[in-house]
Structure 1
Amino acid sequence: MANEKRVDFDIGVSYENFSQRERELSNNVQARIQNPLYGIPRETLLSQVESFAREQGMEDIESILKKGALLAQSPKDFENIPDLDEADKQVIRRETTHKWSQPRDLYLTVLVCSLAAAVQGWDQTGSNGANLSFPMEFGLLTDAGNPEADKNEWIIGLINAGPYLASCFLGCWLTDPLNYLFGRRGTLFFCGIFCTFSVIGQGLAQTWPQLFVCRLLLGLGMGPKATTSPVFAAENTPANIRGGLVMSWQLWTAFGILLGFCANLILFQTGDIAWRLQLGSAFIPAVPLTIGIYFCPESPRWLMKKGRYHAAYNSFKRLRNSELQAARDLYYVHCQLVEEFSILKGSTFVGRFVELFTIPRVRRATLASFVVMIAQQMCGINIVAFYSSTIFVVAGYSTKQALLASFGFGLVNWVFAFPAVWTIDTFGRRNLLLFTFPNMAWTLLASGFCFYIPEGSPARVPMIAFFVFIFAAFYSPGEGPVPFTYSAEVFPLTHREMGMYAYIIPTFQVIFITNCRSWAVATNFFWASVLSMTFPRLLSAFTSVGAFGFYAAMNVVALIMIFFLMPETKQRTLEELDYVFAVPTSRHISYQLNTFLPYFIHRYIFFRKAQLMPLYNFDEVELVSVFERGPRQ
């Protein structure tokens, strides 16, 4: 193995010495441990299981643990494991043939986490309808010529931005201590309390500062909830169906947005208290979230991290169809934890955070994930999610018509999120964005130009709404889910917790994402707060045409950033991604500019035959981690 020839993914560079290749990648990051049981002789493995059972006081299930360890070591070769009887093998076969046949407690966990996403969406859109009336309640609507007009526009924006300001500066960063002290369930209970009483407080506010404070308190619940609930679902879910859940956060957040628009439409005719009910109605999904979370089993991985192995095994039994599967996952996670702690030994939170920007391989992942996340705010989706009712009223709709149009936006946003379940792994993350961003740009621009249609024309507002709906249809299967999925998979084991703290999505194979998800959730919420705070003033200064044109231009800027700075990750193992992000950013930019762009122009504009030279060559690389150290004794 030491003299095995390997081909680097940076084309044309070969390595005669494998240990040299290992050092080169080590300088970027310690690669992912693919399977901690790889290469361990059978007798050694069984002896290790015996020691594990004694240490944890689990001798009563030692025999099933041994079966589980052998299965975890060779999951694809289970038919040839003599220790498994036919009943055991049938259970494992059903993981493939009936993969969605899972215990009730697992689906309860998924349901509760979906409720958490719906709460997130409803909280976002409660202010959309309320924006039409609460400024009048607090005397914040003044004529354009009034010196107070500019100040009041900033106040309205600040109120709308309140939850996101609190989330990015404090709420997200509470995730680590809350999870450490209270676990996944306790953290979500904490979030449910804040997301219940703070929104009720919004409806009871008597002054705009009181409303602002309540929205700040809402952010203390939104931040930890957005980072914890996807992790909770991912840690409790078997690997063979976890991929389907990667999409669930965005899908059910979009559904929560739709529910918020429904509530705005239903409640707008309640008179002076309409805005209070529209803001306060978001407590509805938060109540079953708060109650339901304690009927779910705690994350076994969190329990094991706390050394509570008996409780973790009981939790696994509630989440799996058989004790064999529970034992397999228990021992496999234990071995992953040993590997993780050995890698992170001596590493501090601050140290790993700094390494997000100093280790080349990790820095490239940080840059790429930052690009797709900030692009989600640059595209302008949240000016519609937060202010669509205001936009349609300015265009000439009545309050009811504006709320109906906003409901239409929410419906399109939700329905078109479904195709991403298939396209994200077939069409690809990068390709989806390169296709949808130009379309989002022209639809926003077209919607803005429709404001030039004379007022009173029956075509004016329907055309504006039509292009806004098309914009949402392009956004939902592209920039909606891609940032979360992409950011979940680009970081290596050693830094995935740190990097993913900022993005609201679970990974496919990571074992613990308990800490450090705040960097990207905070990034996302910070720019959401900037967007929410500035749009009222932007709308007044630029007019509707200028505001829509501005965000159309931002889509073009985001497209350029994605084209040059975002590598594709479709259908690549997490280990292969270590090689993808080992390619220097300068080389990736050069390839896109000098190779891919000319190919695209020749092939799809001039319709000439052209051959694309690949940037990566995976053919000569074994799908075994370069850090596998051979058989372990």
Structure 2
Amino acid sequence: MPAMSFSVRGKAEVMEFEGRITPYVVITCILAASGGLMFGYDIGISGGVTSMDDFLEKFFPVVYLKKKEAHENAYCKYDNENLQLFTSSLYMAGLVATFFASYTTKNYGRRPTMLIAGLFFVGGVVLNTAAVNLLMLILGRILLGCGVGFANQAVPLFLSEIAPTRIRGALNILFQLNTTIGILFANVVNYGTERIRPWGWRLSLGLAGIPALLLTVGSLFIVETPNSLVERGQLEEGKAVLRKIRGTNNVDPEFNELVEASRMAKQVKHPFRNLLKRRNRPQLVITICLQIFQQFTGINAIMFYAPVLFQTLGFKNDASLYSSVITGAVNVIATIISIFSVDKLGRRMLLIEAGIQMFISQVIIGVLLGVGLKQDEELSRGTAIVIVLMVCTFVSAFAWSWGPLGWLIPSETFPLETRSAGQSVTVCVNLVFTFVIAQAFLSMLCRFKYGIFFFFAAWVSVMTIFVLFLLPETKNVPIEEMTERVWKHHWLWKKYVRDVDLTDDEAGDAYPRHANGITDANSC
């Protein structure tokens, strides 16, 4: 086998692949990341419509009566399992759908999976907009959840695989940026449609068709990733796409590495079982913990129920929706900051700094509510302003750290043979705990009251310590190089990813020497 120009095991220097940032790659990634628009819109729209009287009166009359009878500061007036089910059903459906999405992503490609997601989104929008009873409303949310499962499975993988290594973090964060734009768009829409009586809520739900159609149509025009094409045996097409997205004909080093990784991947008969192997434990543990921690920052509690939360804290209808728009705008701006900083400052620094910032802001919010919000009183204007500022401080920290990096890091750390299965675990765990928070938050708010912010602050402290000691830096490392350049140099994880012994091979999971899909110089 002739000598190759890609990385050689055992050498300190690793050659970077040739290629430039082509307009085609940027445009393709923007179209693919439009799946985040739909995800974000679904997150943002539910909190707005569930605070609208016309919506509550039609679908949740018990909550409507409780809201009218309760004092404006009553913590428990929105505590209703059916109302929480309206929000959380989307995420339970996404949890189930992600397992089917894993199959289509691996066997048919990232692009068809995104098309399926778009079609689910369109169907869900139609049902929700035309809903005449609670069953129809929930079925629409379930279809939207299926779209979330397929989109969240395929889009992060697509972005990580098609992006050049040096800007992989920035392009991958386009998904999270679009998610934040979707949340902001939803908050602005809710602010306007709340004044349209009695069908403003239908307009809020129906405008989700814009991002749904954008993803559906966009998926028809983007290319499949070279990784997926090579994995499915379409070598020539994969090489042609690689030349197109890298803007150079000299793609042999990167292409040969993809082919070798694919050859290793095909020896794995059971990807999900392979995830449990010792050599894949670092990626699996990191992935599961990141998804759990991301939800227990408390961000989705704020984003799901921002208008409801602000009303509960003493804000009037217009003020609560307006405050949601402000936090949505902060979310977008902070995510843009992350795009420009993630490949320069690195993943670890952003996560640790944000953890400190989120902890401080949540503690301040809890103290202010505990002191300033009594059962029969309203918040003072000054206290309310400080709380909104602290919420914005919290949201900004999350948006440039745990929001995008919770998706970026898992998508770039798994080797090709377990990447699709690993992404399924990522989406699955994320949606399980998103469902838990969405279903439980209003009840937790009712029982914990202001203490809920101390609850989330405690979790933030735990996850910051986790990052400090157990999360290695992955910036500017080619995806197929992660084992050699990252995991084997970590004080703990190196114990799990040392070279594979023959005794570790079983059930067709044989690996010649390395688990991440690249042979060393001698085997060449």
- Please give the TM-score of this superposition, normalised by the length of structure 1: 0.68
* Aligned equivalent of 1:450: 368
Whether 1:394 aligns to 2:286 is no
Task: Provide the residue aligned with 1:336 in structure 2.
Answer: 258
Indicate the residue corresponding to 1:369 in structure 2: 287
Q: Is this contact kept in 2: 1:150–1:537, CA < 8 A?
A: no
Q: Is the 8 A contact 2:487 2:494 kept in 1?
A: no
Which residue is equivalent to 1:537? 443
Q: Deviations over 1:155-195 (max 9, x none)?
A: 11111011111111x11112133235643332222111111
The range that moved more, 388-397 or 344-353, is 344-353
Counterpart amino acid of residue 146 in structure 2? L
Aligned counterparts, 1:100-249, within 5 A: 100=21, 102-103=22-23, 105-133=24-52, 134-138=55-59, 139-141=61-63, 142-143=65-66, 153-168=80-95, 170-180=96-106, 182-249=108-175
| Contact 1:244 1:421 (C-alpha < 8 Å) held by counterparts | yes
**Within 5 Å, which residues of 2 pair with 1:542-553?**
542-543=448-449, 545-553=450-458
Would you say 1:482 and 2:482 are equivalent positions?
A: no
Deviation at 1:198, TM superposition (A): 0.3
For the pair 1:524 / 2:451, whether they are aligned, the reply is no
Retained in 2: the 8 A contact 1:364–1:581?
Answer: no
Q: How far is 1:457 from its partner?
A: 2.5
| Shift in alpha-carbon separation, 1:150–1:341, aligned structure 2, 3 A | farther
Query: Partners of 2:494 and 2:246 in 1: how far apart?
Result: 43
How far did residue 554 of structure 1 move?
2.4
Q: 1:211 to 1:365 in 2, by over 3 A?
A: same
How many Å separate the matches in 2 of 1:267 and 1:260?
A: 10
SS in 2 for 1:375: helix
- Are 1:576 and 2:485 an aligned pair? yes
1:261 aligns with 187
How far 1:466 sits from its partner (Å)?
1.4
Structure 1 contact 297–318 (Cα < 8 Å) conserved = no
Deviations 1:313-337, CA, capped at 9 Å, x for gaps = 5545654545x24xx35x8435532
Shift of the 74–537 alpha-carbon distance from structure 1 to 2, 3 Å rule, reads closer
Say if 2:273 is the partner of 1:351.
yes
- Structure 2 CA distance, aligned partners of 1:151 and 1:398? 15
Label 1:570 to 1:231 Cα distance change in 2 as closer, same or farther (>3 A): closer
String of CA shifts for 1:217-248, please: whole Å, max 9, x gaps: 11111111112123233434444543431322
Give me the whole-angstrom Cα distance separating, in 2, the residues matched to 1:344 and 1:367: 24
SS in 2 for 1:272: coil
Paired position in structure 2 for 1:20: none
* Percent of aligned pairs sharing the same letter: 25
**Can you list the C-alpha shifts for 1:185-219, whole angstroms capped at 9, x where unaligned?**
32222111111220231122222232112111111
Is the CA contact (8 Å cut-off) linking 2:184 and 2:329 kept in structure 1?
A: yes
Question: Could you report, residue by residue, the CA deviation over 1:373-411 in whole angstroms, capped at 9, with x for unpaired residues?
Answer: 211111101111101101111122222211110010011
Contact 1:131 1:390 in 2 (8 A): yes
Q: Secondary structure in 2 aligned to 1:404?
A: helix
C-alpha distance in structure 1 between counterparts of 2:322 and 2:218, whole Å? 32
Aligned residue pair count: 479
**CA 1:425/1:186 → structure 2, altered by over 3 Å: closer, same or farther?**
closer
Could you state the TM-score of these two structures normalised by the residue count of structure 2? 0.82
The superposition leaves residues 505-531 of structure 1 with CA deviations (integer Å, 9 ceiling, x where unpaired) of xxxxxxxxxxxxx10111111111110
Shift of residue 150, structure 1, vs aligned partner = 9.5
How far is the alpha carbon of 1:421 from its aligned partner?
Answer: 3.2
Secondary structure of 1:262's partner?
A: helix
* SS in structure 2 at match of 1:416: helix
- Distance in 2 separating the partners of 1:585 and 1:389: 46
Asked whether the equivalents of residues 371 and 562 of structure 1 are also in contact (C-alpha less than 8 Å), the reply is no
Kept in 1: contact 2:268–2:274 (CA 8 A): no
Q: Offset at 1:270? A: 1.0
CA distance in 1, matches of 2:523, 2:7: 7
Q: State the Cα distance separating 1:476 from its structure 2 match.
A: 1.7
The residue type paired with residue 263 of structure 2 is: F
Q: CA deviation at 1:436?
A: 2.0
Query: Unpaired runs of 5+ in structure 1?
Result: 1-33, 40-72, 77-91, 502-517, 588-623
Report the CA distance between 1:565 and its aligned residue: 3.6
Distance 1:546 1:363, change over 3 A: same
- Whichever residue aligns with residue 251 of structure 1, its letter is L
Question: For residues 143 and 118 of structure 1, do their structure 2 counterparts lie closer, same or farther at Cα, with a shift above 3 Å needed?
Answer: closer
Instruction: Say if 1:172 and 1:223, in contact at 8 Å, map to a contact too.
Output: yes
Unpaired runs of 5+ in structure 2?
A: 9-13, 71-75, 497-515
1:378 maps to: 296
Contact 2:38 2:179 in 1 (8 A): yes
CA drift at 1:465 = 1.0
Q: Find the counterpart in structure 2 of residue 438 from structure 1.
A: 356
Q: Conserved in 1, the CA contact under 8 Å of 2:45 and 2:205?
A: yes
**Paired residue type of 2:338:** A
Question: C-alpha distance in 1, partners of 2:521/2:426?
Answer: 33
Q: 1:366/1:266 Cα in 2 relative to 1: closer, same or farther (>3 Å)?
A: same
Q: Check the 8 A contact 1:368/1:567 in 2, yes or no.
A: no
Q: Report if aligned partners of 1:118, 1:253 keep a CA contact under 8 Å in 2.
A: yes
Question: How far did 1:291 drift?
Answer: 1.6
Q: Does the CA-based 8 Å contact 1:448-1:464 persist in structure 2?
A: no
- The one-letter amino acid paired with 2:404 is P
